[in-house]
Chain A
Amino acid sequence: MPRLRDVTRYVRSKNAGPFWVTVDIFFDDEETWRRHRHDPAIGVDAVAALYGVRPSQVRRFEIDSLRAIKLSFPRSLPQGGVVERDMHSGQQYVPLLDAELAAG
């Protein structure tokens, strides 16, 4: 089964204001986009579980012209607190790279 890193040309994360993280997934090409865009491994429930938020807090967008999925969700703690590990949320995409996608 392919992992997300195998079918995307670029995955990134960034803070969207002090209280939100946003992850952008850019697929390789039209074929990988069509095949994997609806994969549950990068769906709302899986992302909520991976990042410890409620599914209702995850906002998911498909940007067809860019072959991209955007997933936005609240940070577990506001940016810059006592135990801040990633001030700009710039490395928060990494756990998603290993998401296992259906072979289909």
Chain B
Amino acid sequence: MRNDPRGGQSGRGGQVDRDEGEVRARTPGQRGEVYYSEDPRDVGWVRENIPCQTACPAGTNIPGYIRAIIEKHYGGSYEINREANVLPGILGRICSRPCEDVCRHGWPGNGEPVNICHLKRAASDLKSAGHRITESLYTPSGKTVAIVGAGPAGIAAAHDLSLLGHDVTMFERERDPGGMLSYGIPEFRLPRDILKVELHNALRLGVELKTGIAVGKGEGEVPLSRLLADFDAVLLSTGCMAAIPLPLRGEKKGRQGEDPVRTTPGVEYGLDFLVEHHRGEKKTVGRRVAVVGAGFTALDCARVAKRLGGEEITIHIRTTEKYIPVTKDEIFEAKREGAKIVGLRSPVGLITDESGALTGVRFVQNRLGGWREGGRRQAIAIEGSEFVEPCDTLLVAIGQKTVNDYLDVELGLDRWGNAEVGEGGMTSVEGLFAAGDYVSGAATVIEAVGHGRQVALGLDTWLMGRVRRKEVVRIEPVEGPLRERAFDFIPRQEMPTAALAERFQEPDREVETGLGEDLAFEEAKRCYLCNLKYEIDVDNCIYCRACIEVAPKNCIKLVEGIEIKADGTYGDLAEAHDWDHVEAIWIDNNECIRCGACFMVCPTRCISISRNEIVVRDV
């Protein structure tokens, strides 16, 4: 810890228009102009103080698009989304919402997180029918890129690469693009008209989409080596389209090399079940359906099975509901539709009748073990605690993995079979890049979109021989507070849903019906707009303490020093406990809920507000 040598919060570092090392006791608000900064303190401020944007794998400017909803600029809000995530209407429905887990409004004492995801959807739903998309196009580069796999990562990369002026050709083995979006996620969660429009918009800038064409080594398939020869670069985004086998033990191991899940009537992998269902194949389930698994695929299997006539649907999970990686809303809706979730059990065997058909699943009871990555828990089997649950259909959805048998080039893979890539997304093969689940293993759609964009930038840099786009912080003075203290007491507005009876009468009917304008407005007002930075110019402060008196939180502090981290960003504040040690008065933006009370009460107008946003600019 040391004192901030710049004499207070107003001393901002890193404006591109300042002299090296100069410290200015002047705030952006006073200066009255927009400027861009690469200073690590400004970048660090955004990373630390806008937790939702930092948590979003695509880096979506969430306060920005929510503010646009408050202003009823729905098209503008959609465009802000689209700058980071080319599929807002889709992600506004099916995102895993890592942003909401860290939303400042959800921190202890602040209430419930903002319904960020559904506001994204609101922007998409409420924009005018004639809304026109805005894209900034680069001149043609003359470079060609092939993308294998038209899932979310491939789509996001294709969009960005085409904007950057490259000729992109996509190869997709299925009839339609979208990958898991088209073939994994049920229509009642993601209507296909929304999907088609956003996929079309993502690819309309000259991307050549070749569907029904498989890249591989088989007859009629296009070898990867040929793509590498024909194109300047190739991007693999083939996702994780193989189910992880069920590790059974006991009486039903099957003949050598035989997977009992594939050979036992009534048993199926959840991924295959969903893909075949969405290809239009007729799927059936028994009266009692057991689903094994704890992710979105498992829940989707359960809900589809219910719509196909399953009467008793039970989702069996290894740990407990608290630790499964799906949103609370999805759990609630699955239960509402009649699915039961039972925890602390792992399947160890299949029970069949004389004909070989499934009659039950043998489970072993678990207890919770240590922690895993991502806040999940290990499950430890309790030996001797086996029991049988009768069922007619078993859907196994315990995870997905990559498929690599299509490769005719030698590619560096990790021990899970995922592609190993360098910083820019290039694999061990020169000119061959990889993105999305094919690199990370099975993850979420927003992670795939974020990674697709990131690799597109890396690929562009490699193709062009220089960095052409770079993230900087855009800092804009703001006249006054943009929200009222009363907004903090608005309860979270939940997504309206279709009545249960209607869901089963029309199995594809969208369950979540949309927030609508009024609910969206109320919900948007709840956002703290964490991109607003409140600062005190200590040179003008008379230490009257009026701001401290009106602050609803412990957000304005008298300090004797501020930690400055190795990268130049600010760390912890050392609060002064007696007046003789006060070096500055400081707004703790972590505690600040942007209510504006301090700004309104300040007699010397020494508090300024600026909007700080990460933007991508040309280098």
Do A and B interact?
no
Give chain A's interface residues, CB within 8 Å of chain B: none
Give chain B's interface residues, CB within 8 Å of chain A: none
